[in-house]
Amino acid sequence: MTDIAQNETDPFVWFQRWMADAIASEPSEPDAMTVTTVGADGRPSARMLLLKGVDPRGFVFYTNLQSRKGGELRLNAWVALLFFWKSLARQIRIEGRVEPVTDAEADAYFASRARISRLGAWASDQSRPLSGRADLERRLKHFEDQFPGEDIPRPPHWHGFRVVPDRFEFWQGMEFRLHDRTVFDRAPSGGWMRGKLFP
């Protein structure tokens, strides 16, 4: 366990330290996270996404608003994130509410993506039934013809969300399953209350 666990009072600082460790040690996509939403029927739904930004405001990801997760987020803004780094025996659980990023933020990130990824955002009717791979390829070709250059606008159905956390849990695996668990809950004053949990 790193020495930051002994005295850190800001969970965002702790997150950044652990993410830096993960970037140095994980063989693939240390920014991968499970995003869990809840549907109108109360059923949870989880999937892996990539973290696209983090600052003291929260954690940012992007999606098709017409996807299952997009629809669920419109109905219920509460989400849970999970980062797990097996090589470090660490995980971070984050809970909070989503809010949309600004159009300027979404435009800037969309423009930074590879051309084929931007075209894919237009071509994919995400989460809807697909008759076969050829149908996706036909749709991709259509948008390649429609946008032949690098100037590809952000689709109106593609946007980002920021998870504004009110709870963190930092889990460090330890021998004999005597794991270390530290939680941070948002205080009414806006700061953070830190505590420990039994493993």
Instruction: Kindly name the residue from 43, 93, 162, 177 that is annotated as catalytic.
Output: 177
Q: Per residue in 139-173, pLDDT tens?
A: 999 999 999 999 999 999 999 999 999 999 999 99
Segment among 19-33, 57-71, 128-142 with least mean pLDDT: 128-142
| Domain coordinates in residue numbering, the chain | 4-105+156-197
Both tokens of 91, joined, read 């995980």
Asked whether the beta carbons of 94 and 84 are under 8 A apart, the reply is no
Q: Per residue in 97-124, pLDDT tens?
A: 999 999 999 999 999 999 999 999 999 9
Asked whether the beta carbons of 197 and 181 are under 8 A apart, the reply is yes
Q: Is 177 a catalytic residue?
A: yes
Mean pLDDT of 1-12: 70
Q: Per residue in 14-51, pLDDT tens?
A: 999 999 999 999 989 999 999 999 999 999 999 999 99
Evaluate if residue 1 carries a pLDDT over 50. no
> Domain spanning 4-105+156-197 has what CATH number?
2.30.110.10
Q: Helix (H) and strand (E) counts for the chain?
A: 6, 9
CA atoms of 93 and 83, how far apart (whole Å) = 7
pLDDT at 196: 96
CA atoms of 72 and 67, how far apart (whole Å) = 9
pLDDT at 3: 47
